[in-house]
């Protein structure tokens, strides 16, 4: 059915729908567009809708999206191209499953050139995932600053040292002794030694060459370094039984003891930011970490090297548990769970939910709801500007910018204040100012 539609310099639009579903790399998902489809155009924005998108194939689909296209001719069985007007991602669809009653939020509309066009709705899957994974998540992360700013070439060295805590001083000592032996041509590594060294060094050098450096990328190099460090500690303890010279072992042990005591002091100093941590948990963590440092100091003072592995392992456990239960997971419900409870308390049936720079990845696991990533302030403003009632989760510091783009400011329904450990830096520990370091996340609505 052809429906005339005039807008500005464009002469006529004909609205209809069709299905564009193609396979990639043997992808066997088959999509079917069923029922009614449509769109609502509002000058610079558009809403797309569809009754049913089904995967009738035997495997899950790729990342599916509805697309609105302006085509030069009516669809007759093959897609001839044209200009994309808007798109709306609806996620992957499991084999045999369907997504029902699809209605997008307000989407940006891109005008095609002046002329006569036919509007086609497209269901597309396949290349979006490939482009995102291969180009975006790999090539662009490696070669561009799209995902993070460029970092110094030595960025991973402190990351690796922190990942080896509290064994870092022993690892540095072992590396220094190994390089000295190599310089004197006295190092005769076994095949296993070489495998462990290559396992640690090659990935580190590879990621050091990347622009998009992230701490988690070098986590796989920690196991070989831990094995090499443990072997070096064992060899030094054996050597200490035969000769009194244990300067390297003693220095590493004293340094580790001092580091643990320092960690205990810094954890106590972080108290103003640990708003979700019970005082008893924090005190226990501080005392336990400091006790681990004291135990290593006693080992070094008495040169009781046979007790070093047990004392160091116990210190590592107290450090891990102390940081886990006082900083990383201080208590339940945590901030995202409290926000999910607020969403459940205020949301009405079918009310769309979006997020801007807050709980983007984890809120969905606690709400179980479809959630739109609004990406930027203009996107959040468009989402809140639509006629129907919507909910949005965003940082309070973004609220003013979003409100300035709307005729009526959003109404705040709930607030959650928390410490985002992903943003913790050394300055956070040295100057733990709650006004600077704590984030406030709000739940707001346009009605």
Q: In this predicted model, what pLDDT tens digit does every residue of 253-285 receive, in sequence order?
A: 999 999 999 999 999 999 999 988 999 999 999
The answer to whether residue 323 scores a pLDDT higher than 50 is yes
Identify the CA nearest to 301 among candidates 335, 254, 338: 254
Q: Provide the mean pLDDT of the chain.
A: 82
Confidence of residue 23 (pLDDT cuts 50, 70, 90): very low
| More confident position, 122 or 262 | 262
Q: What is the mean pLDDT of residues 172-193?
A: 83
Whole-number pLDDT of residue 20: 35
The answer to whether residue 146 scores a pLDDT higher than 70 is no
Q: Quickly tell me which residue has 């220095």 as its tokens.
A: 251
| More confident position, 131 or 57 | 57
Cis peptide before 333 (omega within 30 of 0): yes
Whole-number pLDDT of residue 126: 59
The answer to whether residue 229 scores a pLDDT higher than 80 is yes
| More confident position, 14 or 402 | 402
Q: What is the mean pLDDT of residues 415-430?
A: 86
Q: What is the mean pLDDT of residues 91-100?
A: 80
| More confident position, 6 or 252 | 252
Q: What is the mean pLDDT of residues 81-101?
A: 82
Query: In the chain, pLDDT over 90 holds for what percent of residues?
Result: 32
Report domain extents, the chain. 12-133, 146-241, 244-331, 335-445
Whole-number pLDDT of residue 134: 61
Question: Residue 416 and residue 339: Cα distance in Å, rounded?
Answer: 7
From the options 1.10.260, 2.60.40, 2.40.128, 1.10.3470, give the CATH code of 12-133. Answer: 2.60.40
Whole-number pLDDT of residue 182: 79
Sign, Cα dihedral of 251, 254, 258, 264: positive
Identify the CA nearest to 232 among candidates 322, 303, 168: 168
């Amino acid at each position: 059915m052809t429906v005339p539609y005039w807008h500005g310099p464009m002469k006529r639009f004909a609205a209809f729908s069709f299905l564009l579903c193609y396979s990639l790399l043997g992808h066997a998902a088959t999509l079917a567009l069923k029922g009614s489809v449509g769109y609502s155009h509002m000058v610079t924005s558009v809403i797309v809708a569809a009754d049913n998108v089904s995967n009738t194939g035997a495997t899950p689909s790729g990342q599916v999206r509805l697309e609105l296209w302006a085509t030069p001719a009516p669809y007759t069985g093959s897609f001839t191209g044209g200009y994309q007007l808007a798109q709306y991602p609806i996620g992957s669809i499991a084999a045999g499953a369907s997504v029902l009653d699809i209605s997008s939020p307000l989407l940006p509309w891109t005008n095609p050139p002046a002329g006569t066009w036919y509007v086609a709705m497209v269901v597309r899957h396949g290349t979006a995932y490939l482009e995102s994974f291969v180009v975006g998540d790999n090539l662009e992360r490696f070669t561009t600053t799209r995902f993070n700013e460029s970092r110094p070439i030595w960025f991973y060295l402190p990351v690796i040292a922190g990942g080896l805590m509290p064994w870092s001083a022993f690892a540095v000592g072992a590396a220094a002794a190994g390089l000295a032996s190599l310089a004197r041509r006295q190092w005769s590594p076994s095949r296993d030694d070489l495998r462990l060294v290559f396992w640690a060094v090659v990935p580190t050098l590879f990621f050091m060459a990347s622009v998009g450096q992230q701490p988690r990328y070098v986590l796989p190099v920690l196991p070989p370094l831990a094995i090499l460090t443990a072997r070096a500690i064992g060899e030094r303890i054996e050597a200490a039984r035969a000769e009194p010279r244990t300067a390297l072992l003693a220095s590493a042990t004293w340094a580790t003891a001092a580091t643990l005591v320092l960690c205990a002091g810094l954890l106590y100093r972080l108290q103003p930011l640990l708003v979700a941590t019970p005082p008893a948990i924090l005190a226990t963590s501080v005392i336990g970490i400091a006790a681990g440092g004291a135990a290593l100091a006693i080992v070094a003072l008495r040169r009781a090297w046979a007790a070093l592995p047990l004392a160091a392992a116990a210190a590592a456990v107290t450090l891990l548990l102390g940081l886990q239960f006082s900083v990383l997971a201080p208590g339940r419900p945590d901030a995202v769970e409290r926000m999910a409870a607020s969403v459940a308390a205020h949301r009405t049936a079918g009310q769309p939910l979006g997020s801007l720079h807050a709980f983007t990845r984890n809120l969905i696991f606690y709400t179980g709801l479809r959630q739109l990533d609004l990406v930027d302030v203009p996107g959040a403003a468009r989402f809140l500007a639509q006629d129907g009632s919507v909910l949005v989760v965003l940082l309070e510091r973004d609220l003013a910018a979003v409100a300035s783009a709307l005729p009526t400011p959003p109404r705040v329904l709930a607030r959650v204040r928390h410490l985002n450990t992903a943003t913790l830096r050394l300055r956070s520990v040295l100057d733990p100012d709650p006004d600077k370091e704590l984030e406030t996340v709000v739940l707001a609505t346009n009605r």
